[in-house]
Chain A
Amino acid sequence: MSDAVPSAAPGTAGLDWRKGALPGLRGPSRGFVVHALAALAALLALNWLVVTYAPLEIKMIGSSYLIFFYHLPAAISMGILYTAMMVFSVAYLRTRRPVWDRRARSAAEVGFLANMVLLVTGSTWAKAAWNVWWVWSDPRLMSAAVMSLIYLGYLMLQGAVEEPQRRRQISAVYGTLAFINLPVVHYSIQWFGQTSHPMKFDSMSTASIIDTKRFALFAFFLLYAVIYRWAYDRTTRTERVEDALQRIRRIEERSQT
């Protein structure tokens, strides 16, 4: 068996190597690069805003609150991505089209990333405010952690099922179950612990804070969208390459016998 990918193996006519059959194989598209650069620029601009423009009022309540410009977008993005993931999963169960599975998987990956950002920023703030990284009794920290475990389970499931059709089916059902569980996790934990989660942002509505908050949301939405796109392209690519390799292997087998 040769290592090189044959350029014109018989029977590979359906695979056009140049016309986007394998997105990203020949490097990222120009559109993707532009978006990625824009996201990076927005992130830099946000940092600059946070350091220079917003803190005037926030300094009065403590500069550790500045982290919420990163924390809040993570929370909202996570909610959007997990919701999207459930919608994609249901769409897969209804249509059985693999594209919905790839979308759901990418949304779960990026949602999990946002979830991690949420946890890390929350934990960092806890360290600054309470001098501990982790507070088991804080319901918000706990529910975010439980959510991350549930979605980590989804990501583990991806590697555990070999048969692709079965994997998609199981993942879609689990993805839907996971989402149904989110309000349960959120409210049940919320009801018990005494939350020390600050909500000062809502009451502070000075222009600079609102502006920075809006810009932070914009910058992070853009960033997560770019990462989602990257994840989706990568998943698509992997699946297509595997597909192509299997076809080539079959052609080889046939020519050997």
Chain B
Amino acid sequence: MTSPALRVHNVWKRFGSRDALAGVSLEAPRGSCFAMLGHNGSGKTTLLRILATLSAPTEGEAQVLGHAVGAESGAIRGKIGVVLDRHLLPRDFALRDALRMYADLYGVRDANARIEDLAARLGLARRLRDPVRTFSRGMGQRASICRALLHDPEMLILDEPFTGLDAAALAITDEVIQETVAEGRTVVLVTHDLERAARLATHSVVLSNGKKTFDGDPVEAAAAATAGRGLAG
């Protein structure tokens, strides 16, 4: 357990001749809330997709929880829970069944109890019978977090989790992030919401044009990113 939660070394990702990531290196300790900040197109989502094993770096190495992305992607997948902009649940099923499918795939013990438990925690208990396709953005987000937490992951990765949420969903997302960190797990958070990041995160980096422009305290990151915006525009 000595390896850091994330270790990214000189990672490049090229799309055609566009460098979405141009040599990014970073490290995140276990048990931290690690925020990756930046504007649209800064490369933060690309990096997240690499860390979530959905994409492979063109060059460089990335390690998640001590496992190398690529060679040991399988081991990583069992230990991370990922919340993307879409909820990734089968739309035609009732929420309970949709979650049940993932529980089966992850091999969750006592799946029904676990689903009840998480649903209650996320305020979804009364919607377990409703088809997922009827969910609003906020409900979808809660369901998505529920899915990501099913297998009790060591790391929670969230991609822009605050966009388009109602106040209640925002509060719950905040709460889940704080609780997860309090339990000693790692949260990786990609967002452009500097204020929230400054409040929640313990560590942060700022990406701009595929390069890391800041690494350190989240409160200072907010200032750095604002300065960066002034420079670019």
Show the binding face of A for B, using Cβ within 8 Å: 96, 163-165, 242-243, 246-247, 250, 257
Contact = CB atoms under 8 A, between A and B. Distances in A.
A242 B17 contact: yes
A246 B18 contact: yes
A165 B17 contact: no
Interface of B: 14-18, 58, 232-233
Contacts of B17: 242-243, 246-247
A257 B15 contact: no
A246 B16 contact: yes
B61 to A, nearest CB: 14
A163 B232 contact: no
B41 to A, nearest CB: 12
B148 to A, nearest CB: 27
Q: Is the interface of A mostly helix, strand, loop or mixed?
A: helix
Nearest to A162: B16
A246 B233 CA distance: 22
A247 to B, nearest CB: 6
A102 to B, nearest CB: 15
20 contacts: A96-B58, A163-B15, A163-B16, A164-B15, A164-B16, A165-B14, A165-B15, A165-B16, A165-B58, A242-B16, A242-B17, A243-B16, A243-B17, A246-B16, A246-B17, A246-B18, A247-B17, A250-B18, A257-B232, A257-B233
A160 to B, nearest CB: 15
What are the 9 A-B residue pairs with the smallest beta carbon separation, nearest first? A246-B17, A243-B17, A164-B16, A247-B17, A163-B15, A246-B16, A163-B16, A165-B15, A246-B18
Given A164-B15, A243-B17, 18 more contacts: A96-B58, A163-B15, A163-B16, A164-B16, A165-B14, A165-B15, A165-B16, A165-B58, A242-B16, A242-B17, A243-B16, A246-B16, A246-B17, A246-B18, A247-B17, A250-B18, A257-B232, A257-B233
Nearest to B15: A163
A243 B18 CA distance: 9
Contacts of A165: 14-16, 58
Contacts of A243: 16-17
A5 B53 CA distance: 40
